[in-house]
Structure 1
Amino acid sequence: MGSPIYIQIHNQIRQAIEQGKWQVGDRIPAERLLAEQFGVSRMTLRQAIQTLVDEGILERRVGAGTFVASQKVQDRMAGVTSFTELTRSQGKVPSSKTISYVITTPTLSERERLRLNGEMQVLRMERIRYADQVPICFEVTTVPSDLVVSFARDEVTSSLYEALQDRGYTIGKAQQTVSATLASERIAEYLDIKRGAALLRLRQVTELRDGRPFEYTRTQYVGDRFEFYLENNR
């Protein structure tokens, strides 16, 4: 199975950045020009760019364009908690709506973060997550497909962590990065907010107890419906 066109473009743009064609802080060409360069529609090009934005490789600046992202100051968040567990701990009822659920070829970023080899494929799913029926975040989760091949779809989409733990897996540590972003038209529609509204973006790679990365998640939280609590033991 070949990679979708937008993933191929994603990979080429990321490689160009890694090879120094564009440096941190550089503005990349307009979508119209890039679409012509790659010979694709602007919709396909925009999907590739948005994937890079969600991964923190590119960043959009209102009225200015799209730029190679600068490195953000990071802090360590303690503990690994799933959205389901977190919502229940606050006395709310978690639920989700699955937007897409596909077995596909990983992007370079997914391959790198999940330490995939050869022709391994991934499950990539998009979900809207709710607390008491209020949309809290839009989440894109990528998992090695061999890990969940025996799982029913509803097990994975309702709570991946619970499905894994029910089969004897133990969740290990996670690496988390939080930054700010603005809602695109698509995300605004999913989360019932205005385009350009403030969002908190979390990128997380979670490992099993044996150190194998099993989940790469990009989540966009509605800024006024969610907050992160940071705890440092020093």
Structure 2
Amino acid sequence: MEEPMYIKIHNQIKRDIENHVYRVGSRIPAERQLALKFGVSRMTLRQAIKTLEDEGILERRLGSGTYVASQKVQEKMSGIMSFTEITHANGQTPSSKLISYHVGKPSLSEKERLKLDDSEEILRMERIRYADDVPICYEVVTIPHRLIQKMSKSDISSHLYQTLAKSGYEVGRVTEHISAAVANENAARLLDARKGEALITRLQVTELTTGEPFEYTRASYIADRFEFTFSK
């Protein structure tokens, strides 16, 4: 299956950053210039840029442009609960809405985070997470297709970890990167929020007890609707 054009653009911009064509903290060319360079519509270009923003590689600054993200201070934390567990603990009812569900080739970031071979495919799904029917989080979840190809779409999108456990897999270490951002037009629309509203962004890689990464999640939370509590 051929890579979508926005993934090809995502991969090329990421390579350019790794090769110091665009340096940390520098502004990348305007959308119009990049769309012309790659010979695509601005909508396709924006999809590539949005994916890089979700991964923390680029950051948009209101009224200024899009920049290669600066390295952020990272703090190791433990005792992290899942969205469902936290929602239940708060006496609320969790639910989710599946936006997209697609099997195909991974982006470079997905390939690196999940330690995939060149021939491997991934499942990429987007969903909105709710607490008492209030949209809290927009997330993109990527999973190696070989791990879940015999599982149903409903089981994967609704209760992945329980389904993995039934198939003999055991969840191990979780690595989280938490940072701050603001809602762009797409996030504001999906989460019923205002453009520019404060977000908490989370990049998560979850491993099996064997050390094999099986899930890469990029999530955006509305800051005034959700908080993280950590214990060391």
TM-score, normalised via structure 2 length: 0.97
1:89 Cα shift? 2.5
| Within-5 A mapping of 1:123-162 | 123-162=123-162
Q: Kindly indicate whether residue 95 of structure 2 is the aligned counterpart of residue 95 of structure 1.
A: yes
Distance in 2 of aligned mates of 1:81 and 1:117 = 30
Aligned letter for 1:209?
T
Q: 2: distance between equivalents of 1:159 and 1:221?
A: 20
Structure 1 position 184, deviation (Å):
1.4
Please tell me whether residue 173 in structure 1 is matched to residue 167 in structure 2. no
The one-letter amino acid of 1:60's match is: R
- Contact 1:79–1:173, Cα closer than 8 Å, also in 2: no
Q: Which moved further from structure 2: 79-88 or 184-193? A: 79-88
- The alpha carbon displacement at 1:80 in A equals 4.6
Q: Does 1:39 align with 2:39?
A: yes
> Does the CA contact (< 8 Å) of 1:179 and 1:200 recur in 2?
yes
> CA offsets per residue over residues 31-90 of structure 1, 9 Å max, x none?
000000000000000000010011011111000000011110111221353322222222
* Structure-2 residue corresponding to 1:108: 108
Query: In the alignment, what sits opposite 2:86?
Result: 86
Contact kept in structure 2, 1:84 and 1:159, CA below 8 Å: no
**What secondary structure, in the 3-state scheme, does the structure 2 residue paired with 1:224 have?**
helix
1:223 aligns with 2:227: no
SS of the residue 1:118 aligns to: coil
Contact 1:31 1:45 in 2 (8 A): yes
Q: Structure 2: which 5+ residue stretches go unaligned? A: none
1:61 is matched by which residue type in structure 2? Answer: R
* Equivalent residue, structure 1, for 2:201: 201
Name the residue aligned to 1:58.
58
Kept after mapping to 1: 8 A contact 2:203/2:219: yes
Aligned residues: 232
Contact 2:141 2:218 in 1 (8 A): yes
What CA distance in whole angstroms lies between the structure 2 residues aligned with 1:200 and 1:155? 27
Query: In 1, Cα distance between the equivalents of 2:81 and 2:153?
Result: 21
Matching residue of 1:67: 67
- SS of the residue corresponding to residue 24 of structure 1 reads coil
Contact residue 80 and residue 230 of structure 2 kept, 8 A: no
What is the TM-score when the length of structure 1 is the normalising length?
0.97
Read off the aligned partner of 1:59 and give its amino acid letter.
E
Q: For residues 158-197 of structure 1, give each alpha carbon's deviation from its aligned partner in whole angstroms, at most 9, with x where no partner exists.
A: 1211211222321101110011111111111111111111
In the alignment, the residues of structure 2 paired with residue 206 and residue 80 of structure 1 have an alpha-carbon distance, to the nearest angstrom, of: 12
Q: Assess, with a 3 A threshold, how the Cα gap between structure 1 residues 84 and 128 changes in structure 2: closer, same or farther.
A: same
> Once the two structures are aligned, what percentage of the paired residues are identical?
56
Does the 8 Å contact 1:99/1:128 carry over to 2?
Answer: yes
> For the Cα contact (< 8 Å) 1:80–1:173, is it kept in 2?
no
